[in-house]
Amino acid sequence: MNKGLLVVISGPSGAGKGTIYGKVIEQTGMKRSVSVTTRKPRPGEVEGVNYYFRTEEQYQQMIASGEFLETAAVYNNFYGTPKAPVFSNLESGYDVLFEVDVHGAKSIKSKYPEAVTIFLMTPDFDTLEARLKSRGTESASALKMRLDSARNELAKYEMFDYIVFNDTVEQATAEVISIIEAEKHKVKNNVAKINALLAQKR
């Protein structure tokens, strides 16, 4: 059996990563990588679906026991990816989708170079600002911090394999899925299957 693909959706906060992530999961049946965070849940967020919400003390214990594939401090909170479920899914042939910040994407790519990294961006910065404002969850200073970070994150484009401009949810979702489909058809990702075919008796 072929190993699963590890796909990372990254990009600035407000680019629509969460929405596109949910749509791609819904339409492909890929496995979610559920992150752990010390941030408080937003209205509607569900424990174990959006995040595992933990105290800072619990989080530090998880770091100490080596449970994370990567961990990052993003806007004064900690976020991290538990590694055990990811690798067991990949070994079992399931594709796993991540949604992480740009530092997380870099760190995953350095530890797992086969990861497919996709940068999701709004068509322009005005759209990004409008989307962040419409969330209504950020203070003015947090909003400014997120807009400044977005520019710095886009400048790190070279570490990504793909970029998708999120004009509409339908278009961006379709483009992400087509990238994943193309990756799944790469010969190097089908060696196990090809060898199994070659080993079959005629």
Interface positions with ligand 5GP (CB under 6 A)? 13, 17, 35, 39, 70, 72, 74, 79-81, 99-101, 103-104
End-to-end CA distance of the chain: 20
Closest approach, Cβ 147 to ligand 5GP, in A, equals 13
Residue nearest ligand 5GP (C-beta atom)? 104
- Which one, 79 or 160, has the nearer CB to ligand 5GP? 79
Closest approach, Cβ 47 to ligand 5GP, in A, equals 14
Cα dist from 182 to 11, 90, 193, whole Å: 21, 18, 16
Closest approach, Cβ 114 to ligand 5GP, in A, equals 18
CA-to-CA distance for 172 and 23, rounded, in angstroms? 10
- Which one, 39 or 131, has the nearer CB to ligand 5GP? 39
**Residue closest to 78 by CA, chosen among 95, 103, 110, 98:** 103
Closest approach, Cβ 2 to ligand 5GP, in A, equals 25
* CB atoms inside a 10 Å sphere around CB 39: 15
